Structure 1
Amino acid sequence: MLTPHQTRYTRDKRQTVVRDWITRVFGLRTLNLRFRAERVLEEALELAQAAGYPQEKIAALTAKVYANPPGEVGQEAGGLGLSLLAFCDTAQISADECEEREIMRVLSKSTAHFKARIERKIADGVCSEDLLEEAA
């Protein structure tokens, strides 16, 4: 069993690998908090969809969240991490294995694949080009 320090190092190392990959593939323009938040939101919605969460409840949940004052980024990131751990436990899957497998999957694909993908997302309106311009 890993100690908390070893677990943190492992995750911190993966975080560095992901940041380096993002910078290499998409450039510094995508290292913007609002743009990264949009990517997290898209993944959260895809996870909710995969789990059978009804689309018609999303607008009400969004309104409820935005009716409150904004939280602190670090605390909210921690809450997201805790929620993901609880979700994975409920789904009887390893969050650690899922994260590691996804990193390996994206690292195995070509830079051209992801550059084309982000351009498609921009064209489809799933990726906010204005946030990319803001980060440039």
Structure 2
Amino acid sequence: MRANSKGAAPSIAAFQTKVCGWMDAVFGEDGATDPKERALRFLEEAIELAQAIGVKRQDVERVCDYVCSRPAGEPVQEVGGVMITLAALCQKSDIDLQHAALSEFERVDTALLRNHIRSNQLNKRAAGLVAS
């Protein structure tokens, strides 16, 4: 999803809509609608980001234990927290959040990677790593 004709980047809402269309194309309309499955994929990506920055497994486990020992929050508020902390992490890590999101979308929005992602998802489902 490139910048629009005026050179401006798409809004968050436009990006979200584009990603949803991509998900439907990759997984089918029924294949990507389970919020728990999407949350597990988000968790996987968040852990991969933390790992890429140098966070160790023990730290992830400690945070997981802490979070799971507390009452569940409200999804909308937690999304806000995710966005704020991701923006702060990107700022302090010299990562342009918008550029990273748009360039990753362009990378995965190819026939070859769509097929690869679809295959990975089936393997994860068979291994019990996603909702079935």
The TM-score bracket by the shorter chain reads 0.7 to 0.9
Write the mapping of 1:116-135 to structure 2, written as runs, cut at 5 A: 116-125=119-128, 127-128=129-130, 131-132=131-132
Aligned residue pair count = 123
Deviations 1:11-37 (A, max 9, x none): 111100101111121122321111110
Query: Aligned letter for 2:57?
Result: Q
Structure-2 separation of matches of 1:94 and 1:49: 19
Deviations 1:62-115 (A, max 9, x none): 111111111000110110011110010011110000001111111124332222
2:47 paired residue number: 45
Structure-1 separation of matches of 2:110 and 2:86: 24
2:57 paired residue number: 55
The offset of 1:117, in angstroms, is 1.9
1:36 paired residue number: 38
Q: TM-score w.r.t. structure 2 length?
A: 0.84
Q: Unaligned 5+ residue runs, structure 1?
A: 1-5
The offset of 1:123, in angstroms, is 4.1
Deviates more, 1:26-35 or 1:76-85: 26-35
The offset of 1:124, in angstroms, is 4.7
Give the percent of matched residue pairs that are identical in Structure 1 and Structure 2: 32
Structure-2 separation of matches of 1:51 and 1:114: 24
Structure-2 separation of matches of 1:109 and 1:46: 24
Deviates more, 1:113-122 or 1:90-99: 113-122
1:14 paired residue number: 15
SS of residue matched to 1:29:
coil
The offset of 1:10, in angstroms, is 1.1
2:108 paired residue number: 106
Q: CA RMSD in A?
A: 1.8
Query: Aligned letter for 1:105?
Result: R
Q: Unaligned 5+ residue runs, structure 2?
A: 1-7
- The runs of at least 4 consecutive aligned structure 1 residues that moved more than 4 Å come to none
Write the mapping of 1:86-105 to structure 2, written as runs, cut at 5 A: 86-105=88-107
